[in-house]
Amino acid sequence: MPSDAAAKGVKLERYASGGALLLRRVASGKFVSASSHLLFRATVLATLALVFLFALHYPSLLSRSFSLASDGSSSSVPGASRSHASHRSLLASTSAAATYGSERWQKEIRRSAKPGRDGGLSVLVTGAGGFVGAHCSLALKARGDGVVGLDNFNSYYDPALKRGRQQLLADRGVVVLDADINDALLLEKLFEAVPFTHVLHLAAQAGVRYAMEAPQTYVASNVAGLVSVFEAAAKRADPQPAVVWASSSSVYGLNTDAPFSEDHRTDRPASLYAATKKAGEAIAHAYNHIYGLSITGLRFFTVYGPWGRPDMAYFSFARSIVAGEPITLYADARRDFTYIDDVVKGCVGALDTAGRSTGSARSGKKSGPAPLRVYNLGNTSPVPVTRMVAILEKLLGKKANKRIIAMPSNGDVPFTHANVSHAAHDFGYRPTTSLDAGLRHFVDWFVQYYKLDIKIAKPSTTGKKPAAATKKKASATSASS
């Protein structure tokens, strides 16, 4: 037990008084002498010098550490952008269950990548914590393919949603690494550990209008990140996988021919987001041409559904309607809204028909031409945004506080409309979900996920009045199962 004096932070000092040796109480702070100050400063300086030397000699390590994140723990930093993600990876690594490239790490990766059926694919899914990435990973796993995901869990929108998707995948035995596509050494280690048959590259900086606010994050993810993935697939993987990646309907830009066909012009992007996706398609051509990489670009058309992206209009409008907050609608805007389950079928079809890469990482040569494809994945029936809001109002049983303005000059385009005949021909892509049905699935999930006490209107075909549909716990969607 400490003495009373010590416990109170005081020390006893000897002093002489009138020939007698006495004791007096002195505050311990006064005993922080000049010498201990010096010692403290020397320690701090030495530590700083060590950190400086470490950073000088091993700068790349700062962006190369990462952890297995199947435990669902969060390492996200509010306000951080995708380009800052590698520093978060370092934070994550301090609590890593299995560290970078270790035997345990490799074992986990190989387990997750192993197909559960004969002839199953082994797929690396980038952006697996994202909306489309999580749904595709679940669908692939459900049919017996092996899946390893990676995601940097940035805070472009609520990272808790991404962690929720990660947990869904972890529950089904799919590892999603906390890592960034710009981390070349990570990708190298992944391809060293597993001979992936396919890469489904969905990690990207999404959002058309946000590109005006944060242009560099689009270049970092959609251009540099794409090159990083192609580089690894072409030069580090043996054998080379086939790559299927997310382009966008936005590449049609100012095209006015409708419905949009893959043969139409795509050289007039209206936003930087669109320009980076268009750049991606050109980059894909180069990697296919030089390295014989099998590459398929999928032009997604405004994908929506359960576990969706809160930055998208249908999601943010639903939140605003519930909160009684105003929403701003761009007059006459129409979108070919495409339901997630349909898009997942398109992604899986594209993977199944991708065809082999013909290059060799060892020789750096290709044995012949490899497939280079691009497909629209849309719904083929554009709907006015005002109609989308009307469906939400009906389902949520509440009127929106609408403000309708002319479409601002923010990179938006007035309408999208997909011709999907190529995807239909090559892999039987046939979207089957109407906006009414799809938004209903979304609202079901939305109400459950946010634990809202809302009675969801039944489909109009039943002709019945709204019925109670509030449930306590969020569940996976049909695409997930």
| DSSP 8-state class, residue 246 | E
Residue 136 within binding range of ligand UGB, rule CB under 6 A: no
- Closer Cβ to ligand UGB, 112 or 250, answer by number: 250
Binding mask 404-423 for ligand UGB (x = CB under 6 A): --------x-----------
**Residue 302 beta carbon to ligand UGB: minimum distance, rounded to whole angstroms:** 4
Q: Are 418 and 379 in contact (CB under 8 A)?
A: yes
Residue 344 within binding range of ligand UGB, rule CB under 6 A: no
Closest CA to 173 of 86, 246, 70, 104: 70
Question: Which of these ranges, 201-209, 368-376, 436-444, 448-456, lies near ligand UGB under the rule CB under 6 A?
Answer: 201-209
- Closer Cβ to ligand UGB, 301 or 375, answer by number: 301
DSSP 417-475: -B--HHHHHHH-------HHHHHHHHHHHHHHHTT---PPPPPGGG-PPP-----SS--
Question: Which of these ranges, 21-29, 171-179, 205-213, 257-265, lies near ligand UGB under the rule CB under 6 A?
Answer: 205-213
339 is catalytic: no
Question: Within 250-309, which residues bind ligand UGB (CB under 6 A)?
Answer: 250, 300-302
Quote the distance between the C-alpha of residue 133 and its chain's center: 7
Residue 222 token pair = 């959609």
Read off the amino acid at residue 412. Answer: D
Residue 208 within binding range of ligand UGB, rule CB under 6 A: yes
Question: Within 418-477, which residues bind ligand UGB (CB under 6 A)?
Answer: none
DSSP 137-192: HHHHHHTT-EEEEEE---SSS-HHHHHHHHHHHHHTT-EEEE--TT-HHHHHHHHH
Identified binder of ligand UGB from the candidate list 148, 220, 312, 350, rule CB under 6 A: 312
**Tokens 């349909």 map to which residue?**
342
**Residue 203 beta carbon to ligand UGB: minimum distance, rounded to whole angstroms:** 13
- Closer Cβ to ligand UGB, 130 or 146, answer by number: 130
The one catalytic residue in 100, 157, 218, 273 is: 273
Read off the amino acid at residue 34. Answer: A
Neighbours of 33 (CB within 10 A): 9
Instruction: Report whether the peptide linkage leading into residue 259 is cis, meaning its omega lies within 30 degrees of zero.
Output: yes
Question: Which of these ranges, 53-61, 85-93, 203-211, 470-478, lies near ligand UGB under the rule CB under 6 A?
Answer: 203-211
3-state secondary structure 272-284: HHHHHHHHHHHHH
Compute φ and ψ for 12, nearest 5 degrees: -100, 130
Residue 249 within binding range of ligand UGB, rule CB under 6 A: yes
**Residue 95 beta carbon to ligand UGB: minimum distance, rounded to whole angstroms:** 32
**Residue 317 beta carbon to ligand UGB: minimum distance, rounded to whole angstroms:** 8
Give Cα separations from 92 to 45, 72, 264, 429 (angstroms).
Answer: 27, 11, 45, 39
* SS3 label, residue 239: coil
Binding mask 369-408 for ligand UGB (x = CB under 6 A): ----------------x-----------------------
**Residue 193 beta carbon to ligand UGB: minimum distance, rounded to whole angstroms:** 31
Residue 330 within binding range of ligand UGB, rule CB under 6 A: yes
Identified binder of ligand UGB from the candidate list 126, 154, 248, 276, rule CB under 6 A: 248
**Residue 244 beta carbon to ligand UGB: minimum distance, rounded to whole angstroms:** 16
- Closer Cβ to ligand UGB, 112 or 248, answer by number: 248
Q: Are 253 and 270 in contact (CB under 8 A)?
A: yes
Name the residues annotated as catalytic. 273
Residues near ligand UGB (CB under 6 A) are: 206-208, 248-250, 300-302, 312-313, 328-330, 333, 335, 385, 412
